[in-house]
């Protein structure tokens, strides 16, 4: 009896495209944060329809190699920050530059309103005192790393909204208003999942893991200057706390 050997199954076309693009990303043809060629360009390159191409790109996204920005295209996913230390003097730009990343920050909103009970307690303010609230997104290599909300006593820093708009940096804004240095007095960390709005701002899927920190920063005299809440994209950052970070 003659043995019949079947023909080896062919690799699905979308899988072959995903493997090719994945290999090119690994080889450094595109750097983290770079935009891939358009769907039209990739479809022409591989001589496939867009449905096949989109399945390949979806596979790369599931593997964490690329991410899609609605209306902007498909981008190579940035590598996770190896170590983001939560020390007494935490400076976003310094931390990312030390990790070999390009930091940037987008301020989305600056408002003045009455403090809620938790904010008033953290900042040692009278109930209902006015505070300035700065909200925005911190980015690494153009990719959202964290959403932040920083709350400041309005009476002490009446010009903060204007100054933050001019310098686009909380640290430099506080320095202009006489706070040359400030340190982290306390920090709480919580693991959560991202609701829809937060996920959209971080360009994550709804329900993705996030790391939330709640901190109080104080000046050299120990007076609270900032009550901050930060929501980090869990898949893009590793937070570390050292003995020095717990001091104070």
SS (H, E, C) 147-191: EEEEEEECCCCCCHHHHHHHHCCHHHHHHHCCCCCCEEEEEEEEE
In the prediction, which pLDDT does 8 show? 58
Give the residue extent of every domain in the chain. 13-76, 81-246
In the prediction, which pLDDT does 93 show? 73
In the prediction, which pLDDT does 10 show? 72
Q: Which helix or strand (DSSP H or E) is residue 35 part of?
A: none
In the prediction, which pLDDT does 210 show? 93
Which candidate, 25, 22, 14, places its Cα nearest to that of 60? 22
- Say which CATH topology domain 81-246 has: Chorismate lyase (3.40.1410)
Query: What averages of pLDDT result for each successive group of 10 residues across the chain (248 residues)?
Result: 56 90 88 89 94 92 81 79 66 72 87 97 96 93 89 97 88 91 91 93 87 94 96 84 50
Query: What does each C-alpha distance from 175 to 48, 152, 182, 219 come to in angstroms?
Result: 56, 14, 10, 11
User: Is residue 121 within 8 Å of residue 208, measured between CB atoms?
Assistant: no
Give the separation between CA 3 and CA 5, rounded to whole angstroms: 6
Query: Does the domain made of 13-76 have the CATH classification 3.50.7.10?
Result: no
- Location of structure tokens 């190579």: 76
Q: Is 74 helix (H, G, I), strand (E, B) or coil?
A: strand
Handedness of CA 95, 236, 76, 198 (dihedral sign): negative
CA 182 to chain centre: 23
* Tokens (6 digits) for 107: 């301020």
In the prediction, which pLDDT does 226 show? 97
Supply φ then ψ for residue 163, to 5 degrees.
Answer: -70, -40
- Location of structure tokens 């596979």: 59
| Per-residue model confidence as pLDDT tens digits over 134-167 | 999 998 877 888 999 999 999 999 999 999 988 8
Q: Is the pTM of this model over 0.85?
A: no
């Amino acid at each position: 009896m003659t043995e019949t050997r079947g023909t080896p199954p062919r690799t699905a076309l979308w899988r072959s495209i995903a493997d090719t693009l994945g290999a090119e990303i690994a080889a450094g043809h595109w750097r983290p944060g770079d935009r891939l060629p358009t769907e039209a360009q990739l479809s022409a390159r591989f001589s496939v329809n867009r449905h096949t191409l989109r399945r390949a790109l979806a596979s790369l996204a599931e593997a964490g190699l690329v991410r899609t920005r609605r209306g902007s295209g498909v981008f190579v996913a940035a590598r996770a920050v190896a170590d983001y230390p939560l020390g007494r003097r935490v400076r976003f730009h310094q931390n990312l530059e030390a990790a070999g990343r390009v930091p940037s920050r987008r301020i989305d909103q600056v408002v003045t309103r009455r403090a809620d009970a938790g904010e008033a307690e953290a900042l040692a303010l009278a109930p209902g005192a006015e505070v300035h609230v700065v909200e925005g997104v911190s980015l690494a290599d153009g990719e959202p790393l964290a959403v932040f909300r920083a709350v400041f006593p309005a009476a002490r820093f009446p010009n903060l909204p204007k100054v933050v708009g001019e310098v686009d940096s909380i640290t430099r804004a506080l320095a202009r208003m006489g706070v040359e240095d400030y340190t982290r007095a306390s920090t709480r960390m919580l693991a959560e999942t991202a609701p829809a709005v937060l996920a959209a701002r971080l360009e994550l899927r709804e329900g993705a893991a996030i790391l939330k920190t709640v901190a109080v920063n104080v000046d050299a005299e120990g007076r609270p200057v900032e009550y901050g809440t930060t929501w980090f994209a869990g898949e893009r950052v590793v937070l570390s706390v050292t003995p020095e970070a717990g001091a104070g």
